[in-house]
């Protein structure tokens, strides 16, 4: 049995230097799944070395997919893909495994899978997924513990999404890519990782237009071919490091993403009084000792990302005045604030979606826990600027989304080790 691991962090050290972010987790997962649509070899580079990717690779291998994974390069050949041994335990433990819906239904016409699991962020309906699949000709039946999908008649469709769901949009894109006729996805999610999936599919021979907008058009093709593709940089990792630089009063240059993907974050930095130098593919942040309070409201891209709400809220504890946090997308996403209160943060929970943070307050190192991927990153950031030693448990969540986090932060001057 694998022993649980912890991070031990000595706070109060400035982070300085240059760092290049890894490949995007949220782009790599759907792109790996999209590779199952092709019978030829697909070579992916800049693949992040995180536990979610390793879990998905293990699922693929159980389904007969040939995998070669060395460093950040991953080769996939799904010509022998089969459903004879579905690894239910792995699928149940991984929310992102729902990205298999579209590709497997496209390949096999009839698929039964257990319900995916993953981070605990409140109840997350799969209605948007089933709506998209049904629009393209599938019959979907949900039971208490699994989902049964059967393709009745492949048909192009105008799909009006019931919400701007990233993974449901991605499933619709993957299934429509090989569905005859012209399909439209209206109210499509437009995040950078959705765009990256579209660019990847087009490089394999798909015909997708409107990329980056909430209205996609997909002309179905007969087949897709192998290709080599570099995963886009992780803009959420970049944002996390930028916040770390401000929290520790250091100066960081972060490379590896188109910086316009984070305009909503840079605007908040400027509003708070931080110094930043923007380039096309890099940003340099320098802290001000007099950051001022602000208000953030999460929303779909290109508005402020929910995945940076927790890390940014740590920054608000170090800003003068009263800040407001509004989480509009997920239930339970503010639960990490109770961990920050243990460290000395002055926080008032107004309701499950709103909180007030009063600063500036000195945080103190105490034992705390990570409760999901982004909250885990927030705990690390809080520990970096806290006085004394912080012990963070449940770091399995952090490992799911951040590649070699302690190695990268240590290279910038942090005192951090894995226990």
Positions annotated as catalytic residues are 119
**Cα torsion for 11, 403, 165, 155, to the nearest 10°?**
180
Taking the mean position of all CA atoms in its chain, how far away is CA 376? Answer: 13
Distance CA 286, CA 188 (A): 36
* In contact, 252 and 263? CB cutoff 8 Å: no
For helices 235-247 and 263-272, angle between their N-to-C axes, nearest 10 degrees: 10
Q: Where are the alpha helices (DSSP H) in 252-401?
A: 263-272, 309-316, 337-342, 373-385, 396-401
Phi-psi region of 241 (alpha: psi -120 to 50; beta: other; left: phi over 0): alpha
* In contact, 197 and 33? CB cutoff 8 Å: no
**Cα torsion for 403, 227, 206, 82, to the nearest 10°?**
-80
- Interacting residues of 37 by C-beta distance below 8 A, sequence separation 6+: 78, 103, 106, 107, 174, 177, 178, 201, 204, 224
């Amino acid at each position: 049995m694998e022993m649980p691991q912890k991070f031990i962090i000595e706070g109060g050290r400035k982070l300085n230097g240059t760092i290049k972010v890894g490949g995007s987790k949220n782009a790599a997962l759907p792109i790996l799944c999209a590779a199952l649509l092709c019978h030829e070899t697909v070579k992916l580079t800049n693949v992040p070395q995180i536990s979610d990717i390793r879990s998905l690779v293990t699922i693929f291998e159980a389904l007969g997919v040939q995998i070669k994974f060395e460093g950040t390069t991953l080769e996939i050949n799904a010509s022998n893909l089969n459903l004879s041994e579905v690894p239910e335990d792995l699928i149940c433990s991984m929310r992102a495994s729902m990205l298999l819906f579209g590709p497997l239904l496209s390949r096999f016409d009839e698929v039964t899978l257990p319900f995916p699991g993953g981070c605990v962020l409140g109840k997350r309906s799969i209605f948007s997924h089933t709506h998209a699949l049904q629009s393209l000709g599938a019959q979907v039946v949900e039971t208490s513990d699994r989902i049964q999908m059967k393709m009745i008649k492949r048909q192009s469709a105008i799909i009006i999404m019931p919400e701007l769901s990233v993974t449901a949009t991605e499933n619709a894109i993957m299934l429509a890519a090989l569905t005859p006729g012209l399909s439209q996805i209206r109210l499509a999610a437009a995040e950078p990782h959705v765009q990256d999936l579209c660019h990847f599919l087009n490089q394999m021979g798909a015909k997708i237009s409107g990329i980056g907008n909430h209205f996609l058009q997909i002309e179905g093709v007969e087949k897709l071919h192998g290709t080599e593709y570099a995963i886009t940089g992780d803009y959420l990792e970049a944002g996390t490091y930028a916040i770390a630089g401000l929290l520790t009063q250091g100066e960081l240059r972060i490379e590896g993403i188109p910086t316009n993907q984070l305009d909503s974050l840079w605007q908040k930095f400027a509003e708070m009084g931080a110094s930043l130098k923007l380039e096309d593919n890099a940003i340099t942040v320098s802290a001000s000792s007099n950051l001022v309070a602000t208000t953030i409201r999460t929303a779909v891209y290109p508005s402020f990302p929910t995945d940076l709400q927790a890390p940014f809220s740590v920054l608000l504890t170090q800003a003068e005045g009263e800040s407001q946090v509004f989480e509009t997308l997920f239930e339970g996403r503010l639960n990490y604030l109770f961990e920050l209160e243990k460290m000395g943060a002055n926080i008032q929970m107004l309701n499950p979606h709103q909180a007030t943070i009063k600063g500036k307050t000195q945080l103190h190192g105490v034992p705390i826990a990570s409760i999901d991927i982004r909250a885990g990153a927030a705990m690390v950031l809080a520990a970096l600027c806290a006085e004394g030693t912080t012990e963070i448990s449940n770091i399995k969540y952090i490992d799911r989304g951040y590649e070699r986090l302690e190695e990268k932060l240590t290279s910038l001057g942090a005192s951090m080790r894995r226990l």
